[in-house]
Structure 1
Amino acid sequence: MNAIVQTILIGIGATLTMDIYALVLKALGIKTLDYRFVGRWIGHLPKGRFFHHKIFDSPPITGELMIGWVAHYLIGITFAFLLVAVHGKKWLAGPSLLPALFIGLITVTAPFLIMQPAFGFGIGGSNLPDPNKARLMSLITHSVFGVGLYISALIISKFTT
């Protein structure tokens, strides 16, 4: 299996791991990100609107839920490519946890510095009612993504050796 296909599968697997974690949280009554708002944000970009006072109050976009989910998985795949770009194809053959976890933690900068400010939540969720809780949830979720990168790479490497 070539490195590009491996990396795409690792990104999908890691994102799926994060989604399974979100389902567990939801079952426990803990609210997580609704990807339709990612789709809404993306849908407003061609109209020149990057920042929203509150994304919840912005007009809905046709297909926003599908747009949000597709973007979510494409972002996960992109971060998997970042991991391989930083650690090389050698990592694909012998995945280790620390590089994957490191990339997972680095990816938390995307919601802190891009998504949350664009959604009207402020940098690092500073405008949310409990910003420290939001930050901790983001850190944990992105750590789970990092673990998902590792587990997915480990599984895929078993089929490629």
Structure 2
Amino acid sequence: MNHVINGLLAGLVATVVLSVLMVIKDMMGLMPDLNVIGMLAAQMGSGPTMGWLAHIMIGVVGYGLAYSLLFRRLPLGGHGVRGILLGVVGWLVMMLALMPMMGGGLFGSGMPSGMMVPIATLILHVIFGAVLGGVYGRLGHAEV
């Protein structure tokens, strides 16, 4: 059970890091059409508070729980690499399923920012995954 709690904690830390990066992106005015919180809120027919809650739940519960349950089964090196692998899988799901569902098209092809959407979101997912795996490993789980 400790591994699940550590997965949730690692998911929380990674989600906070990702959220800060998203806020910085918005403050800099970069890719204003890529507003994941707004897109999530619109899908739920609600406001930004629900969008943020969904974002937090996906990061903490979705990724944190998934990592804690799957990390031993993931191929490759240590926790950082395995976290990145999970982040890339999540990015592919976002680009192939969620982005089209939210009106952005495959790989964000329907968005004005064009190729910057998949590149920026991939970078963010890689950072998220590295933090997720790294924190999980530091919480007492030896490299496998």
Which residue number corresponds to residue 57 of structure 2? Answer: 74
Aligned-residue identity in percent? 21
Which segment drifts farther, 146-155 or 15-24?
146-155
RMSD: 2.3
Which residue of 1 is the match for residue 139 of structure 2?
156
TM-score by length of 1: 0.72
| Residues 83, 129 of structure 2: 8 Å contact kept | yes
Q: Distance in 2 between matches of 1:155 and 1:18?
A: 19
TM-score between both structures, scaled by the size of structure 2: 0.79
Letter in 2 for 1:111: M
Matching residue within 123, 138, 147 for 2:130? 147
| Map 1:1-161 → 2, pairs under 5 A | 2-31=2-31, 32-43=34-45, 61=46, 64-77=47-60, 78-88=62-72, 96-157=79-140
Q: Distance in 2 between matches of 1:42 and 1:112?
A: 19
- The SS at the match of 1:9 is helix
Show structure 2 runs of 5+ residues with no match.
none
Q: Which runs of 5+ in 1 are unaligned?
A: 44-60, 90-94
Equivalent pairs counted in the alignment come to 134
Amino acid at match of 2:128: F
- Please give the secondary structure, in 2, of the residue aligned with 1:137: helix
* Partner SS state of residue 106, structure 1: helix
For the 8 Å contact 1:37–1:65, the answer to whether it is kept is no
What is the SS of the residue equivalent to 1:121? coil
1:119 to 1:144, Cα distance in 2 relative to 1, 3 A: same
Q: Is the 8 A contact 2:7 2:64 kept in 1?
A: yes
- CA–CA distance in 1 between the matches of 2:50 and 2:28? 27
Structure with max Cα Rg: 1
Partner AA of 2:39 in structure 1: F
